[in-house]
Structure 1
Amino acid sequence: MKAIANYVFLTFFGLIVTQCSQWEIQKPNLLQYLLVFSAPTTVGVIASDLGSGGRFKTFDPNSLTVSPTSVTIHSDAVGRFYEDKVIIINRLNRDSIQILDPRVNFLTVLDFSVGQGRNPQDAVLYNQKLYVALYNSDVIPIYNAQTGTLISEISLTKYRETFSSSGTPDRFLEIGSLVNVGSSLFVSLQRLDRNDVSGYFPPNSDSILVEIDMNLDRIVAEYKFPIRNPSSRIVKKVLFGEPHLLFSCVAFVGFLSRNDGGILAFHLPSRSFRNEILFSEGVAGGDIINFVIRDESLGYAITLDAAFNKSVQSFRPSTGERTGTVLTIPGNRGITLSGMHLTAEGKLIVGLTDFTLPGLNVYDTNQGNLLLNPSPISVELTPLDIFQLQNP
């Protein structure tokens, strides 16, 4: 870790020297990186060797340029950006929160454990309090974002399942994703049956969206999902002229797949789910694993069907109709799709998990979903998550 810190410091110091040395100014590659990766279009990419380790890198989709900086993280991680900091959620078998500071070349400024085996999934930073979603828990812990010290916990034990096909419900809630709207924290509870006789984790109980007041740190409301098993991150989006929260609810998924899920919209002013599904699995022909939405007229979804064929489909959220296919990967090919992001400029970034040639595909949605790179753009390892480096 000390060697990595020294390298980061020297790299950052070298960029400072660039401003002062005529000899360094003649090396445009450093200036290019300095300018490109301070741009508002830059995204963060989580990449992994799917085994021993992972990397955080930055990528500019307009210039198709990957930064030389590489930060060591866990092999199973996702990223968020709050208050000018990158928050890395190192999931199962690392179980920690790692905070990177972009101002010092993404140096790790804090790394703390959330408890062995608790499997963190998401985090929200609010007034220097860090709220963490734990997949293997029934509480929301709150940490001091400066020190990593545990401040308190919000109990969700009243939402434990009361039914299991085995007769013995488990105590975990599968707390999947968090998002804040002002001082309200919204928490998605999958509530899967880990003790089901099938050996899988089916959604035998209703999934719940919980609203927490972060000034008081207490539950203020709960809402039942019309479709069970919200598996995606929660997306804040203005649709139909009003603010919504968006979810992909997959219901029975994978080996239990029934094409019974879809993308839902939660209307924030009325605190209710819209009756219309923005895009259903019945129309998509498979489980909707991930999605991005530009507006009422255009969205994209990563789907997986019963034959393990993977695809990126376009759809129209206002009508729920499928409008096209951007990419299809047959089930017999060892490639999966992981991570997707749509920039404000219309660049659709898709991560390809491929042992031989992993990387990023970038499509220009303003030019009919034109693929801008002839082969996947390497980010050292296999991309897993892509997120905007801007405060929400």
Structure 2
Amino acid sequence: MKNKFQNVFLFFLVLLVSSCGSTSTQTADIGQNLDQIDLNSGAEFVFFFATEFGSSSGQLLLADSNNIGLFVNSGVEQLGAEANIKLFDGLLYVLHGGGDPQSPSSNNIRVLDPQNNFGTQSEFSTGDGTNPQDFVVIDNLAYISLYNPEKDAGDKDANGNPGDVIVMNLDNGQVVKRLSFFNFLFNDGFKRALAHKMVLVGNLLYVCIQDYGTNNAANILLQNAPGKIGVIDTTTNSIVGVISLQGRNPVDIVYSENENKLFVALQAPFSGFGNDYPHVPYGGVEIIPLNDTNHTILIHDNDLGGYVERLDFGFEKVFIVASNFDANTFEFTSAILTMAEEGEAAGDAVSLIPESSDLRDIGVDSRRRLWIGRRTIQSGDQASNPRVDVYDIDTGNLVGSNTNIEVPVTSIAIGQL
């Protein structure tokens, strides 16, 4: 759930998504019987959360990564209208964001066992209205970032400040720690961290802190302060520092172990005239050397050809989604660039997949392929043409596609059970 401007109209513009240009390729079917896939085979699987947002229930699909020709509907019911899915230790975790309060499920984390007919092992609330964004599971603890912790009166740290990241015991759903970045935020009278994506490096959890907006409704999306990366020590469950960024509005983060660097996506703001990335100096990809966090490197989005809204990492490469929005046609488009992990300049980022319609999530499998969830949207046309495309990460060639899915895929998880 790549949810950047929750409860704001412009946020929903960002979420609208895409299709791919015409290419001769293998087209997948949708199966309705889990027996069509052997979940005990030890194979690598790709899981997809698909949704039209609003109050409708989401769908959970899956495929064997070695068989692009068959997707299967898991049949899981009562999923929420928006979710972020991940695999940990053979279990599939579904984190439901805020979404529509009339949605079948929201503001909770649900644990499914794929090898037991996707039975629900547990389901726990993150707090009414808290709008959880991302999570990391360590043993029996889930670290969950909350975009709107202030909506839950009970979500306070020891000093009475909103808990931007909660630590939940997955055995019983109890929150054992609430961590607030309040004292690190820009003192503008608003002071909301807007905690977003996270990445775990060793025992340190790095959290995107957007820290934008004011109490003035007209400037609710104003990016008036540098973004930050909060640092949590998971051995003590305490905040050990904050990294200040050159850029603003961090929306995604990945890690290179070989280079010991973080790569952070910084999304420039929207206006009534489209996306403003060419006119502001603080969007793009920021590189943080973890051995010297005071000297970061910002690659401006102007040099990447679009506002940067998501990243992925695999096979010593960073995958960068650079997008554009045309306010006149209401059309979103996206290109994917790739950069070797040692890259530190715009010239190191090269085109992998040319600009096409907008995409919602990407994932890299073990076969050096990139899975992409898309749909089309433009003026006079509701979101349409949902599909999943699969590309070779070395050649950029399209190797498979599924145009039979009913609603757009917005979250992808890949791994073995």
* C-alpha distance in 1 between matches for 2:293 and 2:203: 18
Confirm or deny that 1:62 pairs with 2:66: yes
> What does residue 134 of structure 1 align with?
146
1:209-358 correspondence runs (5 A): 209-232=229-252, 234-238=253-257, 241-253=258-270, 255=274, 257-259=276-278, 260=281, 261-268=283-290, 270-272=291-293, 275-277=296-298, 279-294=299-314, 299-305=319-325, 308-317=331-340, 318=343, 319-321=345-347, 322-324=349-351, 326-329=353-356, 336-354=358-376, 355-358=383-386
CA 379–146 in structure 1, closer or farther in 2 if over 3 Å, else same: farther
Higher helix share goes to which structure?
A: 1
Change over 3 Å in CA distance of 1:298–1:56 after alignment to 2? same
Q: How far apart are 1:209 and its partner, in Å? A: 1.2
Q: Which residue of 1 aligns with 2:97?
A: 91
User: Which ranges of structure 2 fall in alignment gaps of 5 or more residues?
Assistant: 1-32, 150-161, 377-382
Shift of 1:208: 1.7
1:9 corresponds in structure 2 to none
Give the distance between the partners of 2:40 and 2:113, measured in 1 at CA: 17
Paired position in structure 1 for 2:24: none
The change in CA–CA distance for 1:292 and 1:102 in structure 2 (over 3 A counts) is: same
Identity of aligned residues (%): 22
* Post-superposition CA distance 1:133-180 (Å, at most 9, x none): 0001231222111221222312322134312xxxxx224210112222
The answer for the alignment partner of 2:6 in structure 1 is none
Contact 2:368–2:393 under 8 Å retained in 1:
yes
Q: Which whole-Å CA distance do the structure 1 matches of 2:294 and 2:86 have between them?
A: 25
Question: What residue is the counterpart of 1:172 in the other structure?
Answer: 192
What residue in structure 2 maps to residue 48 of structure 1?
51
CA–CA distance in 1 between the matches of 2:36 and 2:66? Answer: 13
Any idea what SS the aligned residue of 2:38 has?
helix
Query: Which structure is richer in relative contact order (CA contacts within 8 A, separation 6 or more)?
Result: 2
1:196-249 deviation line (CA, Å, top 9, x unaligned): 4634412212222111122211111211012111012x22223xx322222101
Instruction: Please give the secondary structure, in 2, of the residue aligned with 1:103.
Output: helix
* Structure 1 residue 30 displacement after superposition: 7.0
TM-score, length-scaled by structure 2: 0.75
Structure 2 counterpart of 1:249, one-letter code? L
Q: Contact 2:83–2:97 (CA<8 Å) still a contact in 1? A: yes
Kept in 2: contact 1:77–1:88 (CA 8 A): yes
Contact 2:148 2:194 in 1 (8 A): yes
Residue aligned with 2:121, SS: strand
- Pick aligned residue for 2:76 from 55, 58, 71: 71
**3-state SS, counterpart of residue 215 of structure 2:** coil
Change (3 A) 1:271 1:211: farther
Matched residues in 1 for 2:34 and 2:146: separation? 40
How far 1:56 sits from its partner (Å)? 1.9
Q: Which runs of 4+ in 1 moved over 3 A?
A: 29-32, 35-38, 196-200, 253-256, 273-277, 293-300, 305-309, 375-380
Name the CA distance, whole Å, in 1 between partners of 2:58 and 2:49.
7
Q: What is the alpha-carbon root mean square deviation over aligned residues?
A: 2.7
8 A contact 1:352–1:359 mirrored in 2: yes
Offset, 1:390: 5.1
